[in-house]
Amino acid sequence: MPRSQGFPELKNDTFLRAAWGEDTDYTPVWCMRQAGRYLPEFRETRAAQDFFSTCRSPEACCELTLQPLRRFPLDAAIIFSDILVVPQALGMEVTMVPGKGPSFPEPLREERDLERLRDPATVTSELGYVFQAITLTRQQLAGRVPLIGFAGAPWTLMTYMIEGGGSSTMAQAKRWLYQKPQASHQLLRILTDALVPYLVGQVAAGAQALQLFESHAGHLGPQLFSKFALPYIRDVAKRVKARLQEAGLAPVPMIIFAKDGHFALEELAHAGYEVVGLDWTVAPKKARERVGKTVTLQGNLDPCALYASKEEIGRLVQQMLDDFGPQRYIANLGHGLYPDMDPEHVGAFVDAVHRHSRLLRQN
């Protein structure tokens, strides 16, 4: 694996300091899906080619990652990619259907379908294009802000591989958990074994933080979550940290974002991640009481709040910052930006975080 070296010196480390739990002069902010269709320049860059071809072009990924930073004084960049490149690298076909989302023509149906999957050890050789995109972007960022790498968590990837796309109930994937628990664990182990070297490879390529997306946590109740999601979330963090150390790479902060996983907040706070991301259904003050002072919290403005007036966005941000408190906190949305959002309102959100968090520290 390439060793991250010769990158420009980091000029703004506020996001990393907050992630590690150190004091910051203001609250850092970034947005999930900040490189997205709400930006006209994104739609223009993306128009030329199909979604996964874009993911496989380091130059395109770099350009898309940098676009929001040209507009807004964000405190972090997140590499443009997709969580489904991992199932692809395991040999599954995935297409992005415009207006519908991801589609797997041949989802996993039976236990024996697991034999179709490639050896997880080969995944990193399939995903070199992501590492190239990270290295190129890290160079092009010229030290402006840190670059975040990411991946989908095992349960969330499993849902796509079995459902064959999005689903409102995840009934097929959950049927596996109840009817094929052994095969489910086997699949989740395969995914974990693929994710660990993939995330380590991202750091080797230049990623300065990692976020694990457990986007479908909410479809599991506390019992299923603690049996089929949490052990693998823990395992990813533990093994990535150990592998980084073995490879002689500096540790990076890790973020776990389990959407609608509020029932497991305490467990997630002790799962080995420096940062716990919250969606907008969680009250910040209660979350802080529940997780204590040991982790940084990230979130959690309702993305739809960006449909409000700029004045109202300012008020909502002020309330959110007051509730989270000034330290051990990274501002974000509670989910990704939607395609029909006004970039000016995203700018108002970012500016309000910076402005109000500095005021909070003066008082």
Q: Which of these is catalytic: 26, 38, 75, 160?
A: 160
Q: Which of these is catalytic: 26, 33, 234, 329?
A: 33
Q: Which of these is catalytic: 13, 26, 38, 46?
A: 46
**pTM to 2 decimals?**
0.98
**DSSP codes joined into one string, 51-105:** HHHHHT-HHHHHHHHHHHHHHS--S-EE----TTHHHHHTT---EEETTTEEE-S
The answer, yes or no, to whether residue 2 has pLDDT greater than 50, is no
Query: Is 279 marked active-site?
Result: no
For the segment 152-164, what is each residue's pLDDT rounded down to a tens digit?
999 999 999 999 9
Query: Is 144 marked active-site?
Result: no
Instruction: Report the alpha-carbon distance of residue 258 to residue 353 in Å, rounded.
Output: 23
Q: What is the DSSP letter of 165?
A: B
Query: Is 234 marked active-site?
Result: no
Mean pLDDT of 81-102: 96
Domains and CATH numbers, the chain: 13-360 (3.20.20.210)
Structure confidence at residue 5 (pLDDT): 63
Q: Which of these is catalytic: 26, 38, 56, 82?
A: 82
pLDDT band for 109, please (50, 70, 90 cuts): very high
pLDDT band for 48, please (50, 70, 90 cuts): confident
Mean pLDDT of 240-253: 98
Query: Is 46 marked active-site?
Result: yes
Query: Is 82 marked active-site?
Result: yes
Structure confidence at residue 99 (pLDDT): 86
The answer, yes or no, to whether residue 127 has pLDDT greater than 70, is yes
Q: Which of these is catalytic: 17, 37, 118, 189?
A: 37
For the segment 179-210, what is each residue's pLDDT rounded down to a tens digit?
999 999 999 999 999 999 999 999 999 999 99
- From the list 301, 155, 142, the residue with the least C-alpha distance to 234 is 155
